[in-house]
Amino acid sequence: MLEYPRWKYILVVVVLGLALILALPNLFGEDPALQIARKDGDPMLAASLPTIEQFLHDGHLAYSTAYLDSGRIMVRFANTADQFKARDEVNAKFADQYITALSFASRAPAFLGAMGLRPMKLGLDLRGGLYLLYQVDTQSAIAQLLDSYAQDLRRALSAANLPFTDVGIVASSGNLADSIRLTLPAGSKLDATQAIAEKTLPDLKFKVVTLPSGPALQGTLTPQQVRDRQDYAIQQNLVTLRNRVNQLGVAEPIVQRQGLDRINVQLPGLQNSAEAKDILSKVATLEFRLNAATGDPYQVAEHGNAPIGTKLYYNRQGQPLLLKREIIATGDELTNATAGNGQQGPEVNIKLDTRAGDRMLATTRANLGKPMAVVYIEKRRETTQVDGKPVTRDITDEKVINDATIQGVFGPTFEITGMTSGESRDLSLLLRAGSLSVPIYPVDERTIGPSLGKENIQRGVDALVIGMAAVFIFMFLYYKVFGLVADAVLLANVVLLTALLSMMGAVLSLPGIAGMILTVGIAVDANVLIYERIREELRNGVSPQAAIRAGFDKAFSAIWDSNVTTFIAGLVLWVLGTGAIRGFAVVLVLGIATSLFTALMGSRALITLMYGGRRKLTRLPI
Amino acid sequence: MEFFHKPTNFPFMATRKVWYGLSVLMVIISIASFATRGLNLAIDFTGGVNISATFPTAANVDAVRTAMARAGYPDPQVQSFGSSREVAIRLPPLGVKQDAQTIRAQVTKVLQGVDPAVQVAAPDVVGPQVGSELRSSAEWALFFTLVGIFIYIAFRFHTWRLSLGAILAVIHDPILVLGIFSVSQTPFDLPAVAAILAVIGYSLNDTVVVFDRIRERFHANRRLASALVLDQSINQTLSRTIMTKVVTALVVVALLFIGGPALRGFSEALMIGIIAGTYSSIYISSAIALDCGLTSEHLFPTVKKSAVDAMP
């Protein structure tokens, strides 16, 4: 008699039942679909649905269903030709209201989706699309923080009537600027100055240093503060990139942090990398500055030497302007920007946060009737080939986009006018998406053609199905009934792995398929190890039931040790690998876990159930 | 059905010096080819553009190549791909303006000069950065994998001799796969990297299964000569080794012949790796452990009672 604990039977049944449900959505396949969303990011109203349906109907555009799905309208099509046609028509008709994205909608019944069950997503290599890797300039995040500290310190010292020579930004050690240095004239009151500095900037610890030029106070950020600031910059960029990606109208985009200071963006279905990069990697910000009261900008433009405290800019017509260096407000402090049409034509309505609003109020009150300029700053990094080697350089474009007289005293809300409607829309879009306060640069990109992707997956799936069928037949021929048990266990393993991957929201790519093949190999191996042991025992004249027990018991250590060793390898690759290597490792690690479970517990439960209770068992069909 | 109805009794260890020689020779050839010819790296690593075009009739590869070169594309590689009507064109990185749509439009224009009815698919475009980073992350991952395996095997089998054997086998197999890729100049792409990782996994599995049997044989009889125990262990696991390999090969052969050109590098690497992995788990990992002086004493140390007896 062979016995197997009841709780193990129950566990096997429950786990496999759950896995079957979780893996179910993958069975149904996908329809080509069109996602329609509102341009301003607000959810679609239910009332828009009949409008869209009517439009599709009137235009004789074939579609199967249209419905609202989490704030967007989804329209399903029978084939991609209908999908493309409908997209072009909808774009032409509703260009100013909606953005569309080509997408896929699962054919799984609605109740599965309602339970939160979704099929596995296909990776870019299988579906086609655009992959971009961005480097976040975390050094400039630190520099910006120190800049604003330095400005606060200057103000505080001037207000307290304490003399100082200069406030500069320096590196305490190495290349990374992480300190503010306040140089003082000889004979100044060190203690009083230090007290003011520490009161103004409580984050910094100031210490006295003696330089050749005289005494100075130096405040340094702790490594933790540096790290926090860098993390903050990356988080801010992640949010901004997500907003901008949504503006591109891409279905199921992926925007995620990679490593310490990188962001990886995957845009399925997108082919035009130039447009995507333009929108994604621009660092647009605004600076509000007062025009300089003295100095002739034309003379400065010709001879250089801008008067102290001023800087030379050009407006869009190419005319020079002298602006004060003091910044009233920046794009960071912007909470909203919308394009609209006012009495003076196209305008951008701007809303600042309260701190900048207070400063704006004080400035406009003191400078009513004087001109104020808005500087639009764009940073990008350009890579050119010089002697076959890529050379990157940072380009900062600064342009005065608006130079107008302060018409009234205003605080946090006001309008900028004097642009064409196209410019005002572009500007408001970039600003509303959140100004990227820290520059990001694309370090890698790849575009994967969609047709190759489709072909890839079809051929790969065909091959896998045929290969698996061959394995199933061969296992049956070689191990007879036990081979069928192994086939059932193998199938359970594939279901379990698919369920886990779907549950985790994993993305299936070619390396992932490699991982699946390795997993199938490992799962087969576990069964083969057990069955070969059972045969060995039978050959040694052991009774069938004892042979089954001995087979499982003796094969255990080999299965366990070989799987754990491979598991360790997979785990290291998961933690240290990137991209393709990680995609492979995730599937491998999960696959080892599921194959251990199905081969050791599932297979034993099934075989015990089949042969455990038979008293007069003389032969095993193995 | 059974491959070996009666237990086999091949003297594997007796001939190990021959196989060492063969392995060393193959590794040297691989490394030499690697150093001189290098790998035919696909655009996954070098950056560049892959674009495929379908012609209404059989494509004239030479005409396509001439047209591309005349249009000013440096060093275009043109091959027929899949069917005779399809060609794959590979271009080196094109610098700043590497936009898929622009390239597609330009190439379509050039190829229409060859045949006006040509269809050009949307291209694959890869930036030049990814390769070096992937390499360094892969190197670190491989290093820590080896360390992890070494420690686990030393812990489970109580001896570094088996750890060393396993690690040499794990290094041996990917070198051979890379060597064959280098000698045959098969394009080496990202899926091929995944395949090499899978090869390491298979090879490791095999090696540890043999080790497990060695542990069991030593436990059953500690007086037997080490070489004999190793031979017995490999022979007793031989039917399992071959069976597992045949089953895996079934899937890989299907991928190789049906999976299409995109999976070619992947399935070739797997196929070579499976053969190399079987060989190395027999002739490398166990044999190295034997030549490091492996005895039953290392796996099952005799408990020294004298130290306890000496206690007052």
Instruction: Please name every residue paired with A258 in a beta bridge, in sequence order, or none if there are none.
Output: A262
Task: Pick the closest to residue B34 from B208, B241, B175 (CA basis).
Answer: B175
Length of chain B: 312
Please check the confidence at residue A351 and state whether its pLDDT lies above 80: no
Instruction: Find the closest chain B residue to A455 by CA distance.
Output: B260
Instruction: Report the CATH number at residue A194.
Output: 3.30.1240
Q: A581, A589, A620: which to substitute to probe chain B, counting the most B Cβ within 10 Å?
A: A581
Rounded Cα gap, residues A353 and A169, in angstroms = 27
Give strand ranges (E) for chain B: 40-41, 48-54, 77-81, 83-91, 119-120, 124-126, 187-188
Q: Which residues of B touch A580 (CB under 8 A)?
A: 134, 190-191, 193-194
Chain-centre distance for alpha carbon A270: 16
What local confidence, expressed as pLDDT, does residue A473 receive? 94
Task: Pick the closest to residue B189 from B46, B62, B301, B73 (CA basis).
Answer: B46
Query: Is residue A162 less than 8 Å (CB to CB) from chain B?
Result: no
8 A C-beta contact, residue B82 and residue B260: yes
B87 Cα to chain A: minimum distance (Å) = 13
Q: Which residues of B touch A386 (CB under 8 A)?
A: none
The larger pLDDT score, comparing residue A110 to residue B275, is at B275
C-beta atoms of A463 and B263 within 8 A = yes
C-beta atoms of B152 and A568 within 8 A = yes
> Beta B40-41 vs B187-188: how paired, if at all?
parallel
Q: Which two tokens stand for residue B155?
A: 């812990």
What local confidence, expressed as pLDDT, does residue A382 receive? 58
Please check the confidence at residue A390 and state whether its pLDDT lies above 70: no
Residue A538, domain member (yes or no):
yes
C-beta atoms of B262 and A451 within 8 A = no
Confidence at A305, pLDDT banded by 50, 70, 90: confident
What local confidence, expressed as pLDDT, does residue B130 receive? 58
Domain positions in chain B: 13-40+129-299, 48-126
For chain A, the C-alpha Rg in angstroms (whole number) is 33
Sign of the torsion formed by the C-alpha atoms of A433, A437, A439 and A445? negative
C-beta atoms of B243 and A528 within 8 A = yes
Instruction: Find the closest chain B residue to A471 by CA distance.
Output: B247
B308 Cα to chain A: minimum distance (Å) = 32
8 A C-beta contact, residue A528 and residue A580: no
pLDDT above 90: percentage of residues in chain A: 14
What local confidence, expressed as pLDDT, does residue B311 receive? 46
B-proximal residues of A, 580-609, CB under 8 Å: 580-581, 583-585, 588
Confidence at B312, pLDDT banded by 50, 70, 90: very low
| Cβ-based burial of A278 (10 A; exposed 0-12, middle 13-18, buried ≥19) | exposed
What local confidence, expressed as pLDDT, does residue A247 receive? 63
Residue A268, domain member (yes or no):
no
| Neighbouring residues of B153: CB distance < 8 A, sequence distance ≥ 6 | A565, B162, B163, B166, B208, B211
Please tell me whether residues A188 and A330 are part of one structural domain: no
Confidence at A42, pLDDT banded by 50, 70, 90: low
8 A C-beta contact, residue B48 and residue B92: yes
B20 Cα to chain A: minimum distance (Å) = 24
Q: At what angle do helices B61-70 and B100-112 cross, to 10 degrees?
A: 120
| Neighbouring residues of A582: CB distance < 8 A, sequence distance ≥ 6 | A573, A574
- At the top level of CATH, which class does the domain B13-40+129-299 belong to? mainly alpha
Please tell me whether residues A520 and A454 are part of one structural domain: yes
Task: Pick the closest to residue B277 from B169, B187, B130, B155 (CA basis).
Answer: B169
Query: Is residue A446 less than 8 Å (CB to CB) from chain B?
Result: yes
The larger pLDDT score, comparing residue A22 to residue A37, is at A22
8 A C-beta contact, residue A34 and residue A100: yes
> At which residue do the structure tokens 């779907």 appear?
A502
Instruction: Find the closest chain A residue to B1 by CA distance.
Output: A478
C-beta atoms of B247 and A528 within 8 A = yes
DSSP B281: I
Query: Is residue A572 less than 8 Å (CB to CB) from chain B?
Result: yes
Query: Is residue A336 less than 8 Å (CB to CB) from chain B?
Result: no
Please tell me whether residues A288 and A339 are part of one structural domain: yes
| Neighbouring residues of A186: CB distance < 8 A, sequence distance ≥ 6 | A214, A215
If you average pLDDT over every residue of chain B, what do you get? 83
Residue A151, domain member (yes or no):
yes
Please tell me whether residues A295 and A436 are part of one structural domain: yes
Weakest mean pLDDT among A147-151, A415-419, A421-425, A585-589: A421-425
8 A C-beta contact, residue B7 and residue B235: yes
Span A414-423, average pLDDT: 75
Please tell me whether residues A589 and A472 are part of one structural domain: yes
Q: Which residues of B touch A474 (CB under 8 A)?
A: 246-247, 250
Please tell me whether residues A421 and A300 are part of one structural domain: yes
C-beta atoms of B209 and A273 within 8 A = no
Q: Which residues of B touch A475 (CB under 8 A)?
A: 247
Nearest to B258 among A384, A446, A466 (CB): A466
If you average pLDDT over every residue of chain A, what do you get? 81
The secondary structure of A440-468 as a DSSP string is EEEEEEEEE-HHHHHHHHHHHHHHHHHHH
> At which residue do the structure tokens 């809300």 appear?
A413
Nearest to B209 among A470, A554, A562 (CB): A562
Instruction: Please name every residue paired with A314 in a beta bridge, in sequence order, or none if there are none.
Output: A320
Rounded Cα gap, residues B86 and B72, in angstroms = 22
Task: Pick the closest to residue B7 from A160, A289, A124, A532 (CA basis).
Answer: A532
Please check the confidence at residue B131 and state whether its pLDDT lies above 80: no
Nearest to A565 among B102, B204, B239 (CB): B204
CA distances from A574 to A580, A584, B150 (A): 10, 8, 18
Please tell me whether residues A313 and A420 are part of one structural domain: yes
Nearest to B240 among A449, A517, A532 (CB): A532
Rounded Cα gap, residues A152 and A236, in angstroms = 23
Please tell me whether residues A463 and A420 are part of one structural domain: no
What local confidence, expressed as pLDDT, does residue A437 receive? 59
Considering the entire predicted model, what is its pTM?
0.71
Query: Is residue A392 less than 8 Å (CB to CB) from chain B?
Result: no
C-beta atoms of A569 and B128 within 8 A = no
Nearest to B127 among A445, A571, A584 (CB): A445
Q: Which two tokens stand for residue A478?
A: 């070689």
Please tell me whether residues A393 and A334 are part of one structural domain: yes
Neighbours of A6 (CB within 10 A): 8
Which residue intervals of A186-296 are DSSP H helices?
A: 190-200, 223-248, 273-281
8 A C-beta contact, residue A580 and residue B130: no
| Neighbouring residues of A36: CB distance < 8 A, sequence distance ≥ 6 | A44, A52, A72, A73, A74, A75, A90, A94, A98, A99, A100
Please check the confidence at residue A385 and state whether its pLDDT lies above 60: no
Kindly report, residue by residue over A553-600, the tens digit of the pLDDT: 999 999 998 899 889 888 888 887 777 778 888 899 999 999 999 988
Query: Is residue A621 less than 8 Å (CB to CB) from chain B?
Result: no
Instruction: Find the closest chain B residue to A571 by CA distance.
Output: B145
B202 Cα to chain A: minimum distance (Å) = 7
Q: Which residues of B touch A384 (CB under 8 A)?
A: 95-96
Task: Pick the closest to residue A256 from A267, A272, A271 (CA basis).
Answer: A267
Kindly report, residue by residue over A130-143, the tens digit of the pLDDT: 888 888 888 887 88
Q: B104, B197, B252: which to substitute to probe chain A, counting the most A Cβ within 10 Å?
A: B197
A445 Cα to chain B: minimum distance (Å) = 5
What is the phi/psi pair of residue A609, to 5°? -60, -40
Query: Is residue A271 less than 8 Å (CB to CB) from chain B?
Result: yes
What local confidence, expressed as pLDDT, does residue A298 receive? 84
B48-126 topology per CATH = Alpha-Beta Plaits (3.30.70)
What local confidence, expressed as pLDDT, does residue A14 receive? 92
Query: Is residue A497 less than 8 Å (CB to CB) from chain B?
Result: no
C-beta atoms of A518 and B200 within 8 A = no
Cα angle, residue A584 at apex, residues B82 and B98 outer, rounded to 5°: 55
Residue A479, domain member (yes or no):
yes
Please tell me whether residues A354 and A455 are part of one structural domain: no
Q: Which residues of B touch A133 (CB under 8 A)?
A: 129-130
Domain that holds residue A204: 138-225
Please tell me whether residues A431 and A535 are part of one structural domain: no
Task: Pick the closest to residue A352 from A286, A401, A408 (CA basis).
Answer: A286
8 A C-beta contact, residue A335 and residue A357: no
Kindly report, residue by residue over B12-33, the tens digit of the pLDDT: 999 999 999 999 999 999 999 9
Rounded Cα gap, residues A256 and A133, in angstroms = 10
A465 Cα to chain B: minimum distance (Å) = 9
Span B183-208, average pLDDT: 83
Kindly report, residue by residue over A476-516, the tens digit of the pLDDT: 999 999 999 999 999 999 999 999 998 888 888 777 877 88
Weakest mean pLDDT among A422-426, A571-575, B41-45: A422-426
H/E stretch holding A413: strand A413-417
Please tell me whether residues A579 and A464 are part of one structural domain: yes
Rounded Cα gap, residues B116 and B56, in angstroms = 10
Number of domains in chain A: 4
Instruction: Report the CATH number at residue A81.
Output: 3.30.70.260
B-proximal residues of A, 282-311, CB under 8 Å: none
